[in-house]
């Protein structure tokens, strides 16, 4: 008798590089929460090393920068987020 596969597809790791005063950052985080996406928030105004990492990853200094499985998205690009996270 064969056993049914119970492997669950793992969600990619999501990191949101943001600042407290950024409206688009707040919108992106609100959207991710609404969609039930778990993410790590990194406040680059309080973490200079993280700010340097964000620039190295994205080539940009503006926020938000959202990484999905290591792939950077510059700005709050809902369509790209939906595609990379398989959201509807």
6 inside domain: no
pLDDT digits (tens, 9 = 90+) for 41-87: 999 999 999 999 999 999 999 999 999 999 999 999 999 999 999 98
1 inside domain: no
Query: Does residue 33 surpass a pLDDT of 60?
Result: yes
Residues whose CB is less than 8 angstroms from the CB of residue 65 and which lie 6 or more positions away in sequence, other chains included? 16, 17, 54, 57, 58, 72, 73, 74
45 inside domain: yes
Beta strands per DSSP E along 1-88: 14-18, 40-43, 65-68, 71-74
From residue 62, alpha-carbon distances to 2, 52, 54 in Å are: 52, 12, 9
Residues whose CB is less than 8 angstroms from the CB of residue 48 and which lie 6 or more positions away in sequence, other chains included? none
Query: Does residue 1 surpass a pLDDT of 70?
Result: no
51 inside domain: yes
Query: Does residue 15 surpass a pLDDT of 70?
Result: yes
């Amino acid at each position: 008798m064969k056993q049914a596969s119970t492997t669950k597809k793992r969600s990619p790791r999501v990191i949101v590089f943001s600042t407290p005063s950024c409206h688009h950052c707040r919108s992106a985080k609100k959207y991710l929460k609404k969609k039930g996406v778990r993410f790590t928030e990194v406040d680059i105004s309080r973490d200079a090393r993280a700010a340097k990492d964000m620039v190295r990853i994205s080539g940009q200094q503006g926020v938000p920068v959202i990484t999905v499985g290591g792939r950077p998205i510059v700005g709050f690009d809902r369509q790209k987020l939906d595609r990379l996270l398989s959201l509807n």
